[in-house]
Amino acid sequence: QVQLVESGGGLVQPGASLRLSCTVSGFTLDDYVIGWFRQAPGKEREGVSCISVGGLNGGTTDYADSVKGRFTISRDNSKDTVYLQMNSLKPEDTAVYYCAASEDLDYGDVDHGLGYSTEEYAYWGQGTQVTVSS
């Protein structure tokens, strides 16, 4: 049974940091592209970052322009976990954050910024709330 469980959300002040975790089970992490998405109240779900094995350095990552330079995605296969390190948080980062797994995307899609179509992700976690407020 495929499962993704997010954790690490919370309430922080602007400029603070949080690290979200996405722990997976029921599948091999290397076989899937893992994406982080977020959804703010009244807005559509948007892609934040995604990661895949493969590519020149053995791993490929991509970031939405709104988080580039502030967020870092990484994976620890030994723990079946993908992380999203979020620094310099802003109020506009407030949202429910979801991780998702796709077996249809590959590192080429990630490398070309094509890893954010929600239809390509078959498995989703339940989400974790991130609130950035003073």
Question: Would you state the pLDDT for residue 11?
Answer: 98
Question: Would you state the pLDDT for residue 127?
Answer: 98
Question: Would you state the pLDDT for residue 126?
Answer: 97
**Consecutive 10-residue averages of pLDDT for the chain (134 residues):** 96 98 93 96 96 79 97 94 98 98 93 93 98 97
Question: Would you state the pLDDT for residue 30?
Answer: 87
Question: Model confidence over 36-71: pLDDT tens digits?
Answer: 999 999 999 999 999 998 766 678 999 999 999 999
Residue 40 has φ and ψ, to the nearest 5°, of: -90, 160
Beta carbons within 8 Å of 34's beta carbon, 6+ residues apart: 22, 24, 50, 51, 52, 75, 82, 99, 100, 101, 102
Residue 59 has φ and ψ, to the nearest 5°, of: -160, 145
Question: Would you state the pLDDT for residue 53?
Answer: 82
